[in-house]
Amino acid sequence: MKCPRCDSEKTRTMVKSPVGDVWEVFVCENCWYSWRSTETPVVIEKFKLTDEIIATLGVIPPIPPLDI
Partner 1 sequence: MAKTYKDLREFLATLEEEGQLVRVKEEVNPEPDIGAAGRAASRVPNGPAVLFEKIKGYKGQVVTNVHGSWQNHALMMGMPKDTSTKAQFEELNRRWDKFPIPPNVVTRDEAPCKQNTMSEDINLFEVLPLYRINEQDGGFFISKASVVSGDPEFPDDFNKQNVGTYRIQVKDKDRLGIQALAMHDIAVQLEKAERKNERLPIAIALGNTPLVTFMASTPVGYSQNEYEFVGALQDGVPTDIVKADTAPHLFVPAGAEVVLEGYIIPRVRVVEGPFGEFPGSYSGARLQCEVQITHITYRTDPIFENLYLGMPWTEIDYLMALNTSVPLYKQIKESFPEVVAVNAMYSHGIGVIISTKCRYGGYAKGVAMRLLSTPHGMPYSKIVIIVDEYVDPFNLEQVMWALTTRVQPSKDVTLIENAAGMPLDPSSYPAGMTTKMIIDATTPVPPEPNPRTVELLKDPVDTEKYIAIIRDLQKAMEDK
Binding site for Zn ion (CB under 5 A): 3, 5-6, 8, 28, 30-31, 33
3 binding partner (options partner 1, Zn ion, none; Cβ < 5 to 8 Å by kind): Zn ion
Q: What's at 12, amino acid-wise? A: R
User: What's the CA gap between 27 and 61, in Å, rounded?
Assistant: 24
User: What's the CA gap between 5 and 57, in Å, rounded?
Assistant: 15
Q: How far is CA 34 from the centre of its chain?
A: 5
> CB 58 → Zn ion: shortest distance, Å?
18
Contact between 45 and partner 1 by CB under 8 A: the answer reads no
Contact between 39 and partner 1 by CB under 8 A: the answer reads yes
